């Protein structure tokens, strides 16, 4: 089926409470809040899609909704702890055929890779297209594109881990689902991906992320984006020997 005839969603998961860095969604990286940077990158995904911010009903997450409204993005408020339930309710409301799972702590996500993942998931009729089986990209650049139908089918026998890590059931039961790893151009070769992380988890991540943002300039996605990230990572290592 043509991509244009399918409902594609990009769900950004974000909340203010964080054990390692509270309120990080609003922390300004080079003058722009973390969540807004994630939104800006997600908007560059070229396939016809609907972006939803998935957050909780906690009063502290009013600020998440404020950022969503400022950026003309829809938001959905649900359970604080049960992220799986939040996702199920979004799928039921928007009827997404496929959705990209996007964590709100990934300001440098690559829209190009999500475009590849969406195209591959649809073409091969996958339940999950992932860059994690095996891992081929650094943390913060990983990709997961999920079939809405398959996701709704696993809404049973969930423990606390499943409710927080919403794709874990796929990885635990690979024979029950059609899962393929993301196919990326050979020129994107992260041979030392385990040495780098582009997530915003704690205070120590700020300097590295801002160094990347500063030096990437106007390169925002694609093969050149990854080559530049790798170049910047080597420069960073040399500066911090």
DSSP assignments along 161-196, one per residue: HHHHSTTHHHHH-GGGS-EEEPP--TT---TTGGG-
Residue tagged 């089926």 (tokens) = 1
**Domain residue ranges of the chain, discontinuous segments joined by +:** 3-239
Helix axes 34-43, 62-70, angle to 10 degrees: 40
- Alpha carbon distance, N-terminus to C-terminus of the chain: 52
Give CATH for domain 3-239: 3.90.550.10
> What are 33's strand-pairing partners?
28
pLDDT in tens, 133-171: 999 999 999 999 999 999 999 988 899 999 999 999 999
Asked if residues 115 and 47 have their Cβ atoms less than 8 Å apart, the reply is yes
pLDDT in tens, 18-52: 878 889 999 999 999 999 999 999 999 997 789 99
Rounded Cα gap, residues 37 and 143, in angstroms: 17
């Amino acid at each position: 089926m043509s991509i244009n005839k399918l409902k594609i969603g990009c769900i950004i998961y974000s909340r203010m409470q964080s054990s390692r860095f509270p309120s990080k969604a609003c922390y300004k990286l080079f003058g722009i809040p973390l969540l807004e940077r994630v939104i800006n990158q997600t908007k560059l995904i070229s396939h016809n899609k609907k972006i939803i911010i998935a957050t909780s009903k906690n009063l502290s997450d009013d600020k998440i909704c404020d950022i969503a409204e400022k950026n003309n993005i829809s938001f959905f408020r649900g359970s604080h702890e049960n992220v799986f339930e939040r996702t199920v309710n979004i799928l039921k409301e928007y009827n997404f055929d496929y959705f990209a799972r996007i964590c709100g702590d990934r300001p440098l996500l690559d829209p190009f890779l999500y475009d590849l993942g969406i195209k591959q998931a649809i073409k091969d009729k996958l339940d999950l297209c992932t860059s994690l089986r095996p891992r081929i990209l650094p943390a913060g650049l990983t990709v997961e594109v999920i079939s809405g139908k398959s996701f709704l089918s696993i809404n049973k026998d969930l423990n606390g881990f499943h409710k927080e890590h919403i794709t874990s059931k796929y990885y635990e039961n690979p024979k029950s689902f059609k899962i393929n790893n993301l196919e990326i151009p050979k020129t994107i070769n992260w041979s030392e991906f385990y040495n780098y992380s582009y997530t915003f988890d704690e205070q120590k991540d700020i300097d590295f992320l801002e160094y990347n943002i500063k030096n990437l300039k106007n390169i925002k996605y694609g093969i050149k984006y990854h080559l530049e990230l790798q170049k910047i990572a080597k420069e960073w290592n040399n500066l911090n020997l």
